[in-house]
Amino acid sequence: MEKIRVELAERSYDIVIGSDILRGIGDNLKSFGLSPRIAIVSNPTVFSLYGKCVSDSVKKAGFDLLTVTIPDGEEYKDLLWVQHIYDELLKHKLDRSSALIALGGGVIGDITGFAASTYMRGISYIQVPTTLLAQVDSSVGGKTGVNHKLGKNMIGTFWQPRLVWIDVETLKTLPKKELLAGLAEVIKYGVIWDEKLFDFLGVNKNKILSLDRDALTHIIKRSCEIKAEVVSRDERESGLRVILNYGHTTGHAIETVTEYKKYLHGEAVAIGMCLEARLSSMLTFIDNNKVLRIKSLVESYGLPSEMPADIDIRHILSSMELDKKAVAGELKFILPEKIGSVRIYRGVDNKMIKKLLQEQAFEK
Ligand code: NAD
Ligand code: GLY
């Protein structure tokens, strides 16, 4: 088992990574001083696979367990379903020392964390992420939230979990497309922070795609270490943490323009990373051969690397324009300078983005 500490003074916690460790979670809750009544929040897809194992372990450790399920899908990550969680917790008399266990992907983690942060002014929660994206990104760092009809993740809090419990075996049941979307975020960590991780992804592609336990444990551990380091230095995204958004400025515009239907988040980020690396080279911050290395790693995992031809560049520009307004007139781009290091850059104007997108359309 691997253990990583997220250092945040009195809000510090462990990320535990292992294989076949779900059944061990109950015993690890005993030291948190929780009341005996706790709840697991999941969706039917994940609960049918792993719910019994986690529930048995928690009950065996002496807890009285409530199960709350919400339907499977991003469209249920909203205040209506938070209300449903509150209803169940109140009906079953969960108190201020109770805890929630989030068993599932990022959707379950985000909504459970949000419910935990607001129920009775904030109770404990434990992340048990079961998608690669949740294991390397959303379960760590304490961003919780739900969607509003006017925008994704518009309602939320910073609320750190007490523990993140990652069982790599859960990835065996994850659809391949979801695995690849998670790998885009791992590639992101390589580009922004760690050339060795980037190289490892290139050399060990076959092992990773065949779910080799050691290779998966390595990339998850390294990703969590990087995220833990960044979050420890800047919990509330007032500076450094923004580098985790490499690929996301463009990726987000692509998701918005395609109405969240064409790409999974990680796929849009993969395109975003390639375009933003190209942008960096246009600004002479990075050599073109490194841009090609990023693109070729992305493509080797079967992830998209280019904006699809049917997307109207004007829509991308106006989506970025809207984002710009939302962040007080300034869009930040995270631009790689080499593999393993990025800079935060604010000087990108519309003309430059247009040139980038048009160049790509022309190259095709
Ligand atoms: P998800 O939670 O929707 O999971 C993807 C699909 O996989 C779902 O159908 C789910 O039921 C299924 N699934 C989960 N684990 C499984 C398993 N082991 N076997 C089989 N099926 C399984 O999607 P996601 O990509 O994990 O998370 C996306 C969400 O995460 C978005 O809402 C996004 O906003 C959020 N997010 C949050 C942060 C953060 O810092 N809080 C960071 C990145 C993304
Ligand atoms: N997913 C980016 C962050 O947690 O800051």
CA 294 to chain centroid = 20
Query: From the CA of 141, how far away is ligand 2's center (Å)?
Result: 7
Architecture field, domain 2-173: 3-Layer(aba) Sandwich (3.40)
**Protein residue closest via CA to atom 24 of ligand 1:** 106
User: Per the confidence metrics, is the pTM higher than 0.85?
Assistant: yes
The CATH number corresponding to 176-358 among 1.20.1090.10, 3.40.50.720, 3.30.450.40, 3.40.50.10420 equals: 1.20.1090.10
Indicate if the pLDDT at residue 151 is higher than 60: yes
355-362: long-range pairs with CB below 8 Å, 24+: 355/282, 356/275, 356/278, 356/279, 356/282, 357/275, 357/307, 357/313, 357/316, 357/317, 358/313, 359/278, 360/275, 360/278, 360/306, 360/307, 361/307, 361/309, 361/313
Active site (annotated) includes residue 241? yes
**Protein residue closest via CA to atom 40 of ligand 1:** 138
Indicate if the pLDDT at residue 20 is higher than 90: yes
Indicate if the pLDDT at residue 364 is higher than 60: no
**Which region among 132-146, 279-293, 308-322 has the lowest average model confidence (pLDDT)?**
308-322
Q: Which residue has the tokens 């079961």?
A: 130
Q: Torsion over CA of 321, 322, 326 and 328, rounded to 10 degrees? A: 30
Task: Identify how many contiguous H helices and E strands the chain contains and give both numbers.
Answer: 14, 11
Q: How high is the pLDDT of residue 143?
A: 98
Q: Provide the residue ranges of all domains of the chain, joining segments of one domain with +.
A: 2-173, 176-358
| Mean pLDDT in residue range 167-192 | 98
Active site (annotated) includes residue 185? yes
Q: How high is the pLDDT of residue 93?
A: 97
Is residue 161 within 8 A of residue 139, CB to CB? The reply is: yes
Active site (annotated) includes residue 172? no
Indicate if the pLDDT at residue 228 is higher than 90: yes
Interhelix angle 79-91/106-118, nearest 10 degrees: 60
Active site (annotated) includes residue 3? no
Site to probe by mutation for ligand 1, drawn from 133, 146, 152 as the one with most ligand atoms within 8 Å of Cβ, is 133
Query: From the CA of 143, how far away is ligand 2's center (Å)?
Result: 7
Q: How high is the pLDDT of residue 265?
A: 95
Indicate if the pLDDT at residue 268 is higher than 80: yes
